[in-house]
Homo-oligomer: A and B are copies of this chain.
Amino acid sequence: MTASRVLREEGGYSEKTRVKVMAEVERLGYLPNRIATVFASDKRTTFVGVSIPDLGNEVFTHVLEGIDRKLVSFNHQTVLGMTQHALAEEETWIETVLSWKPAGLILTGRAHTPRAVQLLQSSNIPLVEIWDLNSSPIDMCVGLNHFDSGYDMGRFLLSKGYKRFGYVGTSHDAANAATSRLNGYAKAVEDGGGKLSKQLCLNDIPGFYPGFYGTEQLLSSDPNVEVIFFQNDNMAVGAVQFCEAQKISIPGDIGIAGWGELPIASVLPYRLTTVQANHLRIGQLAAENLLLKISGDDAQDVCDVGFRLVPGETV
């Protein structure tokens, strides 16, 4: 018991005893069994479950990095969950992770199975839903309004005089955030009297090459599209490469817009039209708020990190 007190620096022991205990620790190469600690006092582990749709989508690696950096600096560990965009997978993962008594959870997306919601509520664990803003989260929420960002992009493109619009995305869509963007975009186009003449949902990750062949597909099925909004910047860059290869002039023949301001954008010879979203910041804020709740402090329930439309030279 005295050794336990010394190791927890809880006080109630003399310096002489402390030295003796530490000497034994050293001699035995003693490593505490944290499992026993959690078990004993019905505490939680220092694990934080973090579910993201997948790592193939560059956007989420930035979010994850923001989360992990913050968690580590407060002595917590990230337990990864890749849900592959399937709510059923998420539910299974939540159940597993909860059985390990995590300190908290961070979930990407606001949609969950009813049973998952029930598990989360009854577990009473601090929880942050990230990515898509949710004004009534289960517990807390950090994100941005994807619908609005799509709507703003639609209005911006309309203001540039475009009439026939296209969209290319993938099924790798975090909790339908990209679909929200598409919906906002479609609404703006409709409100402004334009026509969303073609939209494509590829069964692929939203990377460079899907942007490349997605553009090819879209243009071959509807050559009259004047501007294409992509799920993210990497896809848009793939599109730009396709157009260059095909001698299609940008923005002369076609306009290209991306989303997310990914690293590739920084080395292009022109400014890509895109929406800037601070992915790292979402991760950091989510982890910060979670840590506040974990340590019993108050945290803001809903955090809107916002977005910024970047008018570029590709439209």
Q: Which residues of A contact B (CB under 8 A)?
A: 29, 31-36, 38-39, 45-47, 54-56, 58, 61-62, 64-65, 68-69, 72, 75, 77-82, 93, 95-101, 119, 122, 207-209, 211-212, 234, 237-238, 241-242, 244-245, 263-264, 266-269
Contacts and interface: CB of A to CB of B under 8 A. Distances in A.
Contacts of A39: 33, 35-36, 39
A218 to B, nearest CB: 16
9 contacts: A33-B101, A34-B101, A35-B39, A46-B96, A56-B65, A58-B58, A78-B79, A208-B263, A208-B267
Contacts of A269: 241, 244-245
**Oligomer copy total:** 2
Given A35-B39, A237-B264, A264-B264, 5 more contacts: A34-B100, A45-B100, A55-B65, A61-B61, A77-B97
A286 to B, nearest CB: 15
Contacts of A32: 99
Contacts of A245: 269
Contacts of A47: 47, 79, 100
